[in-house]
Structure formats: C-alpha cells, structure tokens
C-alpha cells in the first residue's frame, strides 16, 4: 500500500506511511477477532512480540521527531527504509518454507534453543519489527510471519498467521498514533482506502484462491524487489 501511494499517486512518504499504519490497524482488527474466535492465536508469543515492538515504536517516533525535523530529511529516511523493508519482505516470501524446514531439522536433532532463549529472541524480533513498521509501515506481515516460522516450527501455519495479525494490530495502532502526533496522516485518504478495501477484499479473496501459490508468491516477491530497489537506489 505505501509504495503504491508514493510511486503511483505521488503522496508524500511520511503521509503515506502514517495513513497506511492507521488503515492497517483498522482492517487487521477484523482478522484478530476471527482468529481469536477460532482459537488460532498463541497469545504468549504475541505478547512477547509486543513487549519488544511497542516500546520500540514509541522510541522510533520520538527519534524521528528529533532527528529528522525537516520534511525533506524525513521523506528521504522513510523512502530508504521502505525500500529496505520491501526487499526483506520479498526474501521472507521466497525463503519462508526453507526457514521453517531448517528450524524443524534443528528441533528434531535436539539442537533447538531453550524456551528462555527463544523468548528473548522473540522480544528482540519485536524490537526490529517495531522500528521497521514505524518508519516504513512494512514488516508486520510476511516478514514477521517468516521469523515466527523459524522460531516456532511446531506452530501450525494458521497459528502463525493468527499470532502475526494479532500482534500487528497494536503495533500499527501505536505507530499510527505516533504519526498522528507527527502530523503525517491524511484522514480523507484514510477514509477512501477503507471504503475501497471492502470490494477489494472480496475480489482479492476470490482471485487468491484461483492463483497457485507457486505462481503468486514469486510474483509478489519480484514486485517487492523491483519497487524496493527503485526506492533505495
């Protein structure tokens, strides 16, 4: 969403990120409710992620306000971080299965991390996501899920997705409110995105079911690499 707003519609990077964060918080809230009702959320893991990501998001917002007070500097920083986050997300899409297989092999050979170590790494992963999401609005989806696949190979795919979405809601809300404080949210744009998302979700859910994952995943990853490279370079 953010690169689309920046590259196609010419929206300021800061406005695009701030608006997209609030949009994500609202739209993902419905997914949280569904996964909670289906009991496909590991609340402990989601909590560990939030322990790292929410303070990191607040700290990043404060840093943005003090380190990049100039609009031009802020836009340059956001554009670069957005490109990096998109490339990382593309890698997560392409290598998600390999990461999970490596983690399963390690666990089967009793070489897995202890529960304490895994918890600490999960919190640190939350810190990384908090910084990335606050600056670029990217990372709470595919990148977060790929990390969870590696750390928790015994969780099912639907539990990974449910946990990732539940964590994304407070993270994007806190980051979005931070951008509200920075004055980088366009509320009319937010309303238009929410209005358009209703038919978009309906159409997308039907199209996704008909496109094989072996085609969809590399296509999406390729698009993210191209867009990310354009933003970075």
Q: DSSP labels for 128-175?
A: HHHHHHHHHS-STTHHHHHHHHHH-TTS-HHHHHHHHHHHHHHHHHHH
Residue with the two structure tokens 């997560």: 92
Residues 138 and 105: their CA atoms lie apart, in Å, by: 29
Task: Report the pLDDT value the prediction gives residue 62, as an integer from 0 to 100.
Answer: 92
Question: Among residues 135, 148, 117, which one has the least CA distance to residue 49?
Answer: 148
* The dihedral sign for the CA sequence 95, 96, 102, 105: negative
Residue 115 sits in which domain range?
2-232
pTM for this predicted structure: 0.83
What one-character DSSP code corresponds to residue 70?
S
In this prediction, residues 141-164 reach a mean pLDDT of 86
By C-alpha distance, which of 116, 113, 152, 146 is closest to 128?
Answer: 146
Give the model confidence (pLDDT) of 93-106 as tens digits: 888 777 777 777 76
Q: Which of 9-13, 64-68, 167-171 is the least confident region?
A: 64-68
pLDDT at 111: 59
Residue that has been written with the tokens 């554009």 in this structure? 79
Mean pLDDT of 181-185: 90
Instruction: Report residue 71's pLDDT band, with 50, 70 and 90 as the boundaries.
Output: low
Among left, alpha and beta (phi > 0; psi -120 to 50; other), residue 153 is alpha
Give the whole-angstrom CA distance, residue 127 versus residue 91.
19
pLDDT value of residue 69: 61
Cα–Cα distance measured from residue 166 to residue 47, given in angstroms and rounded to the nearest whole number: 9
193-207 pLDDT, tens per residue?
Answer: 999 887 877 777 677
The more confident residue out of 214 and 44 is 44
Count of domains for the chain: 1
Residue that is written with structure tokens 């995943």 in the block: 217
pLDDT at 190: 95
- State the pLDDT at residue 157: 81
């Amino acid at each position: 969403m953010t690169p689309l707003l920046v590259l196609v519609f010419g929206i300021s990077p800061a406005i695009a990120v701030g608006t997209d964060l609030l949009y994500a918080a609202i739209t993902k809230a419905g997914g949280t409710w569904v996964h909670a009702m289906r009991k496909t959320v590991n609340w402990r893991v989601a909590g560990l992620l939030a322990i790292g990501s929410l303070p990191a998001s607040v700290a990043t917002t404060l840093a943005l306000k003090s380190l990049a007070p100039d609009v031009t500097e802020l836009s340059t920083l956001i554009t670069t971080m957005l490109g990096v986050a998109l490339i990382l997300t593309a890698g997560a899409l392409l290598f998600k299965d390999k990461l999970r297989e490596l983690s399963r092999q390690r666990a089967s050979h009793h070489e897995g991390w202890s529960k304490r170590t895994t918890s600490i790494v999960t919190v640190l992963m939350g810190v990384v996501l908090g910084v990335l999401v606050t600056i670029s609005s990217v990372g709470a989806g595919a990148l977060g899920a790929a990390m969870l696949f590696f750390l928790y190979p015994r969780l099912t795919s639907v539990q990974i997705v449910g946990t990732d979405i539940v964590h994304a809601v407070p993270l994007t809300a806190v980051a979005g409110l931070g951008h509200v404080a920075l004055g980088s949210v366009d509320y009319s744009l937010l309303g238009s995105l929410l209005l358009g998302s209703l038919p978009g979700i309906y159409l997308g859910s039907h199209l996704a079911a008909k496109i094989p994952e072996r085609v969809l995943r590399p296509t999406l990853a390729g698009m993210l690499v191209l867009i990310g490279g354009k933003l970075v370079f």
